[in-house]
Structure 1
Amino acid sequence: MSDELMKNIEVSCAVVMKDLVSYAPNQVVSRTLATTPGVVITLFAFDEGEEISAHTAPGDALVQVLDGRVKINIDGTLLEAGAGESVVMPRDVPHALEALTPFKMLLTVVKKPKTIGAL
């Protein structure tokens, strides 16, 4: 097992995050950069009209819009965000996303650490 926490991204160099994932017709493309018990970081590229249906997450989910525009529904509250904007979707609250244009995001989900009961 590797000791690296980050994957699928070069280290010790500058990268353009939105260039690390490509659009594909009629698809949602993802590239996982980190998965630990406390955090998951994933890049996504959505073709226009593609969506992720309503679901909940076990942690707060930070959407950083890198390109395009997205419509986000957080428990019935609708909002739009574009490149350079960010939205936090709270844990355990239903949310959904729909690409209004081809859209890229960096998604960071931060989870509560699991505690081990007293011995």
Structure 2
Amino acid sequence: MATFEKEIIFNLENSIEYTNGGVISKQVTKSLGGNLTLFSFDKEQGLSEHKTPFDAIVQILDGEAEITIGGKPHHLKKGDCIIMPANIPHALKAVERFKMLLTMVRQE
């Protein structure tokens, strides 16, 4: 998966499109310290419950999402952010179409 070109100005929200009935992901950058990935979700689409060994920060760029962390639902809209702790089950669902930037931070 290719990453974005360095030293080029870009707009995160405009860097990923929506697809009807689906989910799209685009890797922005990846390193040993972590990675940044853009996602777009059509309404009612999502990611089933899972967990990762890394803290994950979600920044909503457009739309609305419900993010469940450890069984507790959180409603987020454009401009909102939340940290999903490492090793805690979490899931995402599009209340309305939404775009997000996911930042995965590797633990030391």
TM-score w.r.t. structure 2 length?
0.93
1:47 to 38, 42, 55: 42
Which whole-Å CA distance do the structure 2 matches of 1:57 and 1:72 have between them? Answer: 15
**1:51-66 → structure 2 map (5 Å cutoff):** 51-66=46-61
Measured against aligned partners, the alpha-carbon deviations of 1:58-99 in whole angstroms (never above 9, x if no partner) come to 110000000000001001111100101100000000000000
Contact 2:55–2:107 at 8 Å: present in 1 too? Answer: no
Q: What is the Cα deviation at residue 12 of structure 1? A: 2.5
2:87 counterpart SS class = coil
| Structure with greater proportional strand content | 2
One-letter code aligned to 2:13: K
1:25 to 9, 20, 25: 20
One-letter code aligned to 1:67: D
User: Kindly tell me: are residues 34 and 11 of structure 1, through their superposed partners in 2, closer, same or farther at Cα, counting changes over 3 Å?
Assistant: closer
Which whole-Å CA distance do the structure 2 matches of 1:48 and 1:41 have between them? Answer: 23
1:69 to 64, 75, 90: 64
Contact 2:21–2:42 at 8 Å: present in 1 too? Answer: yes
TM-score w.r.t. structure 1 length?
0.85
Unaligned runs of 5+ in 1: 1-6, 114-119
Compare 103-112 and 8-17 and name the one that shifted more: 8-17
Q: What is the Cα deviation at residue 11 of structure 1? A: 3.0
1:82 maps onto 2:77 in alignment: yes
Structure 1 segments, 4+ long, off by >4 Å, are none
Measured against aligned partners, the alpha-carbon deviations of 1:2-42 in whole angstroms (never above 9, x if no partner) come to xxxxx532432332111111000011000011222220210
Which whole-Å CA distance do the structure 2 matches of 1:19 and 1:94 have between them? Answer: 30
Q: State the identity %.
A: 36
One-letter code aligned to 1:28: V
